[in-house]
Structures are given as structure tokens and as C-alpha cells.
């Protein structure tokens, strides 16, 4: 038993961060942006409470009222693709070399909806063990590197931002389901079905996204579902739970894309915590049962194990999405209207179908 505990702690340390950015980094700074810097306006919706000692930031506790706002983040001219150039501290933050918060504004729901508008929208739902500032800067990085022409929106649920708080995070995600359902309804209202809102759910955030979609289906909100295009990156979802979710949803107008990595270390930890129950984000696309799930469920399961993933096998989606600027003319997901299991070829930037693939 002691050996198993030691092994578990060692695996947890692999997915923990050696240094975590402080809420103070979100305090707006009055600075002159250098030549070549870019500013990204990230709209936020959160079920977190404001930090008592840092009212400009949001912490780990749950808020009874959904909060809305926007942050203007300066991206340095030396920015490297797929990276976040974290300042060492608030006092030393330099817009020439670091991500820096320039402005922040709180607003009510009506003002948020008006500000976001009906243009292109990319919604990001972060995963387990993630602070508000980590999620905010990650979305600023993704929007910058993917050259998002529209509006990046962050939905931030009250993660404890601690590697040992897995169950508390799962409860915090469940607590936020109604708020995410309401946000999806707001963002899709008045949109064409051919102009969907892009939704990216990472890790435990993917579980939250799927539960929200299921709730929309069970309450007859197909009008919302028809206006969403969902990507689940390394989803931390029990594979049998996912089968039930897909059965409840049926085939969506815009097929769900699932990005998986067979060697995802964080999901191996999750599986251990769940009595070794397989997680969706680490399934084997060569497994006939996985191929059958993809085809019958009308979804795309894409193995992106070939992507480098930086220091984390759990974050390969960052490299894939960030690289879209370099392969824009050959975007592997552009116009893909097929269900099935695929392997992403990093060298050729193409998808290879595995087993039976069915066109829409």
C-alpha cells in the first residue's frame, strides 16, 4: 500500500507546476507598449469569487453570482509560438519581454453580450489544477498564435489550482454547469447555424462541456446545439460516461472533435484516482470499439500523440492550435465532415483515417 501511495505522489508531481503565477500579475499596469507588441482583449465569464486581497483577480471559491468582464493582455514582440512569457513578478513585468495586463473592466451580463457581439467567437473552458490567471493568459496565447479574428471568451470555473484537489475541482466544475449552459445559450442567440461558436474544453473542462451539452439536449435546446462546434482536448471523462453522453446527444450538426494522446501522463493519474477506469483522452484509436464509438456517435477522435506538447503530454492541444498559423492553407480540420478515428501526421499536417470512416 505504501508503495502505491509513493507511486501516486510521484505521478502527481509530474503534472504539478514548479512555480505558479500570482494573482498580482492581473493588476493592470500603465505602461507604454513597445513596437511589435500586440494587445488581446479576452472576455471572461466566471463562477469564481473575487480575491479578497486582490479585487482585480478571481480566486478558488465559488460565487453565487456569475461575473463578467474583460482583460486587455499585452503580448511581447519576442513572443514564441505556444509559449506564455510569464513575468517573474508583478514588479519586474516588462511588456518588451512578458505578458502584461494593461486594462480590466467588470460588466453585467447585458453589457457583456453587447460587447461580444455576433462575430467570430472562440470559447475556452480550462481544465483541472488551473488558476484564473493561468487560464486567462493561456487563452490570450492561443488567440494570438491561432490569429483568432473574432472574440476570445474564457469560461473559468472555480478550480482549486492545486494538484491534490482533484475531487474538489470536479465538484467545482459540476457547480458551474448551469452557468456554462446559460453562456452557451447567450453566445448562440441570433446566430446562423452555419456560423457556430467554437468551444474548446480541456481536460476536466471537457467533462464540464459535455455535461452542459447533455443538459441542453435534455431540455430541448437543439437550437443552441446546432450553433456550437466543440473540440475536447485531452478530455478527462470516463469512457463509459462519454458513451452515455453521446447516446443522449445523438449526432450533432457540427461533429464533436476529440483530441487524444495515448501517453497522456495526467490522465494516467486521473485513471488511477478513478479505480483505473479508462479516460477518453487516452484511448487507442486503433481499438475497434473506439472506432465504432466514433462512427456510430458521429464524432471525430483524433490521436495527436505526434505533437511535441512542450513539457506536458496533457497540453499537446496548445501546440496543435498554435501551429495553425503555419498550416493555415492546409488546416487538417478545415471542412472535415467525417466521423471516425484519425491519426494526426505532424510532418505532413494531415489526418489519416483508421478503420472505417463514414462521411456525413
Q: Residue 150's domain spans which residues?
A: 2-233
338 in a structural domain: no
Q: In what order do the strands lie in the sheet with 338-345?
A: 100-107, 58-75, 38-50, 151-156, 121-125, 197-202, 228-233, 257-260, 300-303, 338-345, 350-359
- pLDDT the model gives residue 268: 85
The domain total for the chain is 1
339 in a structural domain: no
194 in a structural domain: yes
- pLDDT the model gives residue 11: 41
Distances (CA, A) of 133 to 44, 73, 106, 172: 11, 11, 16, 17
Q: Are 221 and 248 in contact (CB under 8 A)?
A: no
Residue labelled with grid coordinates 505578458: 99
Phi, psi of 201 (to 5 degrees): -110, 125
343 in a structural domain: no
- pLDDT the model gives residue 51: 84
258's grid cell: 476529440
341 in a structural domain: no
Q: How far apart are CA 116 and CA 190, in angstroms?
A: 13
317 in a structural domain: no
Phi, psi of 10 (to 5 degrees): -65, -40
Q: How far apart are CA 99 and CA 25, in angstroms?
A: 9
Q: How far apart are CA 343 and CA 59, in angstroms?
A: 38
203 in a structural domain: yes
End-to-end CA distance of the chain: 50
Q: How far apart are CA 354 and CA 342, in angstroms?
A: 5
Q: Are 307 and 265 in contact (CB under 8 A)?
A: no
The answer to pTM > 0.85 is: yes
* Residue 183 DSSP SS3: helix
> Among residues 218, 227, 179, 161, which one has the least CA distance to residue 199?
227
30 in a structural domain: yes
pLDDT tens digits along 150-189: 999 999 999 999 989 999 999 999 999 999 999 999 999 9
Helix%, strand%, coil% for the chain, nearest 5: 35, 25, 40
* Residue 149 DSSP SS3: coil
Q: How many Cβ atoms from other residues are within 10 Å of residue 80's Cβ?
A: 11
> Among residues 227, 144, 222, 159, which one has the least CA distance to residue 193?
227
Residue ranges of the chain with per-residue pLDDT less than 50: 1-17, 326-331, 359
> Among residues 279, 49, 53, 57, which one has the least CA distance to residue 166?
279
Amino acid at each position: 500500500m505504501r508503495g502505491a501511495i509513493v507511486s501516486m505522489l510521484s505521478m502527481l508531481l509530474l503534472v504539478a507546476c514548479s512555480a505558479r503565477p500570482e494573482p498580482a500579475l492581473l493588476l493592470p499596469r500603465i505602461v507604454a507598449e513597445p513596437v511589435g507588441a500586440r494587445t488581446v482583449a479576452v472576455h471572461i465569464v466566471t463562477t469564481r469569487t473575487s480575491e479578497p486581497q486582490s479585487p482585480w483577480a478571481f480566486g478558488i471559491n465559488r460565487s453565487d453570482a456569475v461575473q463578467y468582464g474583460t482583460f486587455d493582455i499585452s503580448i511581447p514582440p519576442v513572443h514564441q509560438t505556444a509559449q506564455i512569457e510569464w513575468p517573474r513578478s508583478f514588479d519586474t513585468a516588462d511588456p518588451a519581454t512578458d505578458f502584461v495586463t494593461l486594462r480590466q473592466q467588470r460588466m453585467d451580463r447585458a453589457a457583456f453580450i453587447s460587447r461580444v457581439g455576433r462575430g467570430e467567437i472562440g470559447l475556452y473552458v480550462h481544465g483541472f489544477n488551473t488558476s484564473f490567471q493561468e487560464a486567462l493568459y493561456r487563452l490570450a496565447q492561443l488567440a494570438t498564435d491561432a490569429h483568432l479574428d473574432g472574440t476570445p471568451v474564457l469560461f473559468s470555473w472555480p478550480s482549486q489550482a492545486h494538484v491534490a484537489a482533484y475531487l474538489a475541482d470536479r465538484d467545482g466544475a459540476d457547480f458551474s454547469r448551469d452557468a456554462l449552459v446559460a453562456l452557451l445559450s447567450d453566445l448562440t442567440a441570433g446566430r446562423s447555424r452555419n456560423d457556430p461558436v467554437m468551444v474548446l474544453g480541456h481536460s476536466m473542462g471537457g467533462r464540464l462541456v459535455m455535461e452542459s451539452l447533455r443538459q441542453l439536449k435534455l431540455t430541448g435546446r437543439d437550437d443552441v446545439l446546432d450553433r456550437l462546434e466543440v473540440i475536447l482536448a485531452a478530455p478527462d471523462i470516463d469512457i463509459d460516461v462519454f458513451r452515455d453522453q453521446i447516446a443522449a446527444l445523438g449526432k450533432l450538426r457540427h461533429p464533436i472533435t476529440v483530441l487524444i494522446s495515448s501517453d497522456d501522463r495526467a490522465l494516467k493519474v486521473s485513471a488511477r484516482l478513478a479505480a483505473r477506469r479508462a479516460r477518453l483522452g487516452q484511448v487507442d484509436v486503433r481499438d475497434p470499439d473506439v472506432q465504432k464509438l466514433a462512427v456510430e456517435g458521429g464524432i471525430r477522435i483524433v490521436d495527436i500523440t505526434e505533437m511535441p506538447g512542450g513539457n506536458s503530454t496533457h497540453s499537446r492541444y496548445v501546440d496543435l492550435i498554435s501551429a495553425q498559423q503555419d498550416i493555415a492553407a492546409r488546416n487538417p480540420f478545415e471542412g472535415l465532415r467525417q466521423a471516425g478515428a484519425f491519426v494526426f501526421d505532424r510532418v505532413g499536417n494531415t489526418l489519416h483515417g483508421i478503420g472505417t470512416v463514414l462521411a456525413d
